[in-house]
């Protein structure tokens, strides 16, 4: 039987569709999909592990190792604690990577840069002697070094990192003295004395005026490159 024009075109049992309020259809189309529970927050995406490491280093220098905590760093960075665990397993993981970053910056990359800057051993020695006096960067490096050494007095992981850095730096100094013509045994002794000066000078770099610091550098260079009388007679 043909339907009359007045009959509806939908089946008798179909439910009438609800009329959406004005603008709701457009809103439904542009609504962003719901984030899954595992999706990273904006803070997690914008903060890199290096940002956490730098913040931890700043707190270590200014307040000590006991204050390097997840809640303190999250507050300082303006993010939630959950952002931390996006990059690190726990606090111990962060502390380990703080030490790794310090080792790479203050030992591995530094010695590589110094060795590549000049092939002349005397020039390399002058560069090493001048390290504690290189402005703000040297002062900042000294503060970090002091904070890590203080931490190492009470923590085995930090102690191992400091010992490794000391050994690598002294070994690099020894290579310089061997290149200057000293025998390995004497080169190792001179390297230790040279390194001890650097550590001390980094703590005492504000002693005296610029002229005084320059005199100390010149004296140390002469002292470290002059053979001992016993070496000359032998």
Q: Quick check: 1 pLDDT over 60?
A: no
The pLDDT tens digits for 49-67 are: 999 999 999 999 999 999 9
Rounded Cα distance between 71 and 82, Å, is: 10
**How much is the pLDDT for 8?**
45
Round to whole Å and give the CA distance between 69 and 56: 8
Mean pLDDT of the chain: 84
pLDDT at 41 over 80: no
pLDDT mean over 1-23: 45
**pLDDT of 230:** 63
């Amino acid at each position: 039987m043909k339907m009359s024009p007045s009959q509806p075109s939908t089946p008798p049992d179909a439910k009438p569709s609800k009329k959406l309020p004005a603008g709701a259809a457009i809103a439904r189309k542009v609504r962003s999909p719901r984030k899954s529970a595992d999706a990273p927050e904006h803070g997690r995406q914008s903060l890199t592990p290096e940002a956490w490491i730098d913040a931890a280093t700043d707190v270590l220098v200014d307040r000590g190792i006991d204050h390097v905590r997840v809640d303190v760093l999250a507050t300082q960075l303006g993010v939630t604690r959950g952002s931390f665990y996006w990059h690190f397993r726990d606090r111990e993981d962060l502390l380990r990577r703080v030490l790794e970053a310090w080792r790479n910056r203050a030992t591995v990359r530094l010695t590589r840069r110094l060795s590549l800057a000049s092939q002349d051993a005397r020039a390399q020695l002058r560069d090493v002697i001048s390290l504690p006096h290189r402005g703000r960067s040297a002062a900042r490096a000294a503060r970090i070094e002091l904070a890590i050494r203080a931490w190492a007095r009470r923590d085995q992981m930090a102690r191992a990192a400091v010992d490794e850095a000391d050994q690598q730096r002294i070994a690099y100094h020894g290579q310089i003295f061997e290149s200057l013509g000293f025998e390995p045994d004497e080169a190792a002794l001179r390297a230790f004395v040279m390194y001890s000066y650097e550590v001390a000078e980094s703590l005492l770099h504000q002693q005296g005026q610029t002229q005084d610091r320059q005199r100390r550098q010149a004296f140390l260079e002469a002292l470290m490159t002059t053979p001992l009388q016993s070496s000359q007679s032998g």
